[in-house]
Structure 1
């Protein structure tokens, strides 16, 4: 039994622990989940430290012939006093260095500061020069080498799984990758790099002036990673971070120079040290992803309202954007003509003098190649488009893009449309807004005469979505309340919410004139094709016809809503073939990466040099994940379960047991567990989830009946078939009946 002194020490320990937890939670606004994680981690470290102490005592016993006195024990314990459990990793610098070393690269090799302009200031009474305009980039090739040192990533690169001809499952199935001259020379193990940039507001707009803290983020991804893993945040790599205002002042070039030079080196081949061996890899910059303003800016094109020809894919006039929705091959931009236009622009307006840029660590051969797509047609490279005296306005081009320095990169093809911004947040948002106006507001003609009265109130729609719709697994993305003010500009819904709203709205638009109702159905069919995991040539042909039908009908019904996004639909077919479908270049996961970084602002609570804070926090997180993923689990660390409980055979429902035994052998030695939900490759499976069954010519559906079973590491669920019929009037499947008997299926 412990004496009084021990009790006092134990009480003191408990009081200090309580004070620490309270301070961490309250003073630093930490969530209970984070506190629980820290407590669990400290408990684990304490247990390990006990083992360390035991080792010291064993060593002392060995030195003293197996005899140990109390004074010697006290000496060993006193030697531990004052030593931190976090020795060697307490400071940010020491922690970063330790994790970076484990990840296989030194910190100074990675994070670099770009200094664009300096200024004088005083420090300790002396004038010193400090950076005024600056940003940060993370060295591309060291990052890439780190990524390739993960066994699962390396396996993906060395073992590509190309799809059959006419089938697109990945970005490397696209024609642009297959026909790239480097891929033809070195085979389908050539690294396919994609880049993304976007402007993000990091501060709370309720607390600070909008755009003051707006940052531009650049990311890159490795396209050789299979799509099911490329949707994880681990596959998205931060490239650079800088204030958005500086990109307007200096352009994108200074912040992407290291990346482009790395791509150029990859074109000639770079030798990496990977898992103890030397590997020679070639690589290409395949495409850039992003919303329309970002793509336009990064590609060197003009913004819509400043250009006579605003489309980055074709030379259509601004006044004729939506006259036709057939893609006119003779109007498509091509790299040969594009380079000639740039020469005209530079001779008309001499290029700005290049600024001196300084790249410093945080604690420096252009290839001439225009043969990139020799197998693709280059129509009318010298066609004359002289409609404006200023060639920049005439051609819709500001300047050459830094991306054009990458071997084989064609800025007229490699800036594909993103369906998140173009469809979900663009055309679908506009159409739903217009249809809801027609449903819920009084419609008048130009003379003020009432044409039609409201069929529903906005409150009725919002309440219906909230209370009477069972969105199932899509409930997290159910539409937000729609207010009247939203109908004059843009619906305040996320892309995921627009997807749900778009599919529920046909049940109401049936009350509108048929031409308006059909518009929504056609757009939903376009949307569904663009979201297919596997695209076939017949899907693209169907899509192209749907675009013609929808676009022509839309401008006939809503004559004052002709936009560049609407025009860009005509290029979907071409871009789908070039880049292996539409999911391959969409921006949903990049938006999630934004949220991961922006969530740090409230934690840091300091906007001074937020760029450096974001970059260093990102590097620490990534290096930690790389260290833990060296066992081959970097991209995917396994399925996760919630509500998992162990069962004996006699505890399993007898009806379930009979069904399960029809699929798998179960005996007394079988390890049986039951889970409430399961997460697999980003999908959540649980009771009452409706799923699309594979292996049938026509779509068929099943309903998960009970909790998920895990028997000897095999995941099984019980389901019943659903009898359905397609209702063309709402573009949805109507459930007619739930069929018996209940069946069992492995969750693959």
Structure 2
């Protein structure tokens, strides 16, 4: 039995699975690739043709063995002495080649059918239309009998014609044919939707393409007529021209594209296609709201139907429920933070909806001069926090809630703009949302709001200027105190819920107290919701605090000092940055040269990805030029340590304590080396990280990095459409149509494991100890699948990457991937063992291997850190520098 890996469809025939993939899942290969139907095979493919090649090369033997398990049946021909054990296909081939080719009259071999013909093509047409499903049980009992061993399960008892409901059979066939046509129409509409919402082709261009293709189809009618006439003339020398025309017309009318896209078809115009999408796809359209005074409108995408559309997809709900059942040691998700545990609504055994919001302003057109800010938008996104961070980080998992001009927010404020969102959130918290898949009403609330510091303070009611005396939303520290006292000393009183509520009430009575408390007003979310508060709901943002804050500032400060000390020049640094041999993911995020005027600006600039890569690879780029003990260099290396710990996807009490010690050491060295340097507010925010990890869980789960990537979709839409008449509505409609396409797909997420460019290898070709580990999984295994690359939960692995598994003397062990092997459904890395030792000056590991290094086998589950590393050769040494802290 072959089973579809995306739905409940199954069939005894592999060909039916391929047909099912084409029809049901073929329109979504950009999202969901075609998986191999063999249950133990993890390979995926971008097209059916690639899958078929894989099946013929890799699984030909398994297919023949599968077919051989079907007991042979004896077929008896009614027109000759043929009587042999064979398959239904072989028997039909006999009828065609032995009798129809000889122009002999034959009777249809299927039950209840009186059709007869002597024409080869007519028989094929009848077979495909009336008996499209190959099923030996539907053959006449006088034609087929059980196997020689007398398998009772395959013997077919004679059935009288009275027992066969011919009309019901015809109705069923008509119903199946109708369903097939409906599915094809849906697939065709999905292609047009993909062209507009995913490929960003304007609707007018799609209409033009449809019209041109329809016209070409009409112009090809004479060619089809000639071809059909030629074929029929071979069998009917005196065939009537009217019959040929009728056949061609029937063929043309059965063409789904022609029927749907020709004049009057259900997909023939832009309006009809939009109507079809609204009726047949799970689209949640935005609602436009007008403000008093005729100001620019804003749009809101109702969160309740959007949540229902998501949670009624089985794969999304399954992942949400899986997280609900996870129990971990340490801090691996928000569920381990004490803010979640203190939330009386969310913390419990019952499934509750936890939402993560994000708010930010962005330019859709990046204009210059006087037009700057004209089309600056304020966006509110949300994610279903119940699913694991690795799944909700995909851009189509991030949903749109609100979109409006930033100028509108400044005039009317967040409370007015967010009113429809707040109304739905209150309903979710107090009444709940009915989920069909669960058959129950589920309550939920907002767990956190991710934002940069400006956005967080603006929405939460704190001062947006960081030059005020009380600028921190986490504690009551003053500006001057932060320059002399570190957060870890415990001298700063943390903000609490009761304290903040008291401050809000006092500020309402006496607005002059706002500067004393650092509070301007209340948070709209806090006012509306019972289980969300401004003090506990706004986590820090690593992206803006570190990668676009502390890191570029300190790189500027320390590099200027080392250039002044002539360890290297700016030109030599930039030359090294340009010529460094970046590999794998570092190629995408490679840093840009440092601008010449960086010292006067006080920052090297650059985006977060580039600054992260530069700080991580700087030891390999220029580290050998700096003498050991240089304080400026040590500041950067301590900052590198802090970054690795801050972005870690899991934490223990020991790693949190280590982070606090690193931050304190870094601060002390920074102030002693540069006594005139004033710490930035983001330095102070960074000092709160150890305590905030205990409150929110890993900070990389709640940062804004992936949300920032969502802006690219809207920028691309406005660039392609060039429609500025009603920007919020234009962007929101296009986004919701895009989400309808993804929600309509077979699976909302890509497969957990994807393998491509797979070939077979003999187990005997591997060393003996590697063979033994293969045989522990599959004792009778003779061949394995070897892939050139592998994707596991969105992380790519390929040969020559360095991974870490195991430990020795408290340090992680490293291996270099030689081959990626699949043994049944188990992924194994066949690796070279590497000797490793830590180089303190470069904060990197030096690896060493030899031609005689033994191979080892590593499972994905055994990795210390899932992110693979790049091994760089620097002056004859192989060095690797971690992205995140490696727990071992």
TM-score of Structure 1 vs Structure 2, range by shorter chain:
0.7 to 0.9
Q: CA deviation at 1:89?
A: 4.0
Equivalent position of 2:656 in the other structure: 540
Separation in structure 1 between the aligned mates of residue 734 and residue 272 of structure 2, nearest angstrom: 14
Instruction: Give the 5 Å matches for 1:124-163.
Output: 132-160=295-323
Change (3 A) 1:701 1:310: same
Normalising by structure 2, we get a TM-score of 0.64
Equivalent position of 1:124 in the other structure: none
Change (3 A) 1:741 1:29: same
Separation in structure 2 between the aligned mates of residue 468 and residue 160 of structure 1, nearest angstrom: 41
Instruction: Indicate the RMSD between aligned Cα atoms, in angstroms.
Output: 3.8
Equivalent position of 2:291 in the other structure: 116
Q: CA deviation at 1:187?
A: 3.2
Structure 1 position 285 matched with structure 2 position 399:
no
Equivalent position of 1:457 in the other structure: 569
Residues 515-570 of structure 1 show CA distances to partners (whole Å, capped at 9, x for unaligned) of 32221122111111112121111211221222222223323333333211111122
Separation in structure 1 between the aligned mates of residue 200 and residue 287 of structure 2, nearest angstrom: 31
Equivalent position of 1:170 in the other structure: 333
Equivalent position of 1:182 in the other structure: 345
Residues 66-101 of structure 1 show CA distances to partners (whole Å, capped at 9, x for unaligned) of x99334335535757964448434555544554454
Equivalent position of 2:38 in the other structure: none
Structure 1 position 733 matched with structure 2 position 855:
no
Separation in structure 1 between the aligned mates of residue 753 and residue 274 of structure 2, nearest angstrom: 29
Separation in structure 2 between the aligned mates of residue 207 and residue 97 of structure 1, nearest angstrom: 41
Equivalent position of 2:579 in the other structure: 467
Change (3 A) 1:719 1:248: same
Deviates more, 1:657-666 or 1:478-487: 657-666
Residues 647-684 of structure 1 show CA distances to partners (whole Å, capped at 9, x for unaligned) of 5x57x994589946751589999886543322222211
Change (3 A) 1:500 1:173: same
- Tell me if the contact between 1:137 and 1:240 (Cα under 8 Å) persists in the aligned partners: yes
> 1:160 aligns to what SS in structure 2?
helix
Deviates more, 1:134-143 or 1:80-89: 80-89
Structure 1 position 312 matched with structure 2 position 434:
no
Change (3 A) 1:544 1:103: farther
Match of 1:531 among 647, 650, 659: 647
Equivalent position of 2:96 in the other structure: none
- Tell me if the contact between 2:435 and 2:442 (Cα under 8 Å) persists in the aligned partners: no
Count of residue pairs the alignment pairs up: 628
- Tell me if the contact between 1:325 and 1:547 (Cα under 8 Å) persists in the aligned partners: no
Change (3 A) 1:653 1:136: farther
Separation in structure 2 between the aligned mates of residue 237 and residue 667 of structure 1, nearest angstrom: 47
Separation in structure 1 between the aligned mates of residue 593 and residue 744 of structure 2, nearest angstrom: 44
Separation in structure 2 between the aligned mates of residue 246 and residue 619 of structure 1, nearest angstrom: 22
- Tell me if the contact between 1:675 and 1:709 (Cα under 8 Å) persists in the aligned partners: yes
Separation in structure 1 between the aligned mates of residue 681 and residue 673 of structure 2, nearest angstrom: 17
> 1:427 aligns to what SS in structure 2?
helix
Instruction: Give the 5 Å matches for 1:432-451.
Output: 432-440=555-563, 442=564
Residues 615-637 of structure 1 show CA distances to partners (whole Å, capped at 9, x for unaligned) of 111111111111114xxx31333
Structure 1 position 407 matched with structure 2 position 530:
yes
Q: CA deviation at 1:418?
A: 0.7
Change (3 A) 1:637 1:72: same
Separation in structure 2 between the aligned mates of residue 476 and residue 111 of structure 1, nearest angstrom: 35
Residues 568-599 of structure 1 show CA distances to partners (whole Å, capped at 9, x for unaligned) of 12221221111112111111111221223322
Match of 1:332 among 494, 503, 526: 494
Equivalent position of 2:608 in the other structure: 495
Structure 1 position 421 matched with structure 2 position 421:
no
Structure 1 position 663 matched with structure 2 position 826:
no
> 2:483 aligns to what SS in structure 1?
coil
Structure 1 position 683 matched with structure 2 position 844:
no
Separation in structure 2 between the aligned mates of residue 670 and residue 318 of structure 1, nearest angstrom: 70
Match of 1:568 among 677, 682, 685: 685
Q: CA deviation at 1:703?
A: 0.7
Structure 1 position 594 matched with structure 2 position 701:
no
- Tell me if the contact between 1:477 and 1:496 (Cα under 8 Å) persists in the aligned partners: yes
Change (3 A) 1:348 1:97: farther
Residues 193-221 of structure 1 show CA distances to partners (whole Å, capped at 9, x for unaligned) of 11111111111446984322221111111
Larger Rg: 2
Structure 2, unaligned runs of 5 or more? 1-194, 229-239, 862-888
Normalising by structure 1, we get a TM-score of 0.76
- Tell me if the contact between 1:172 and 1:580 (Cα under 8 Å) persists in the aligned partners: yes
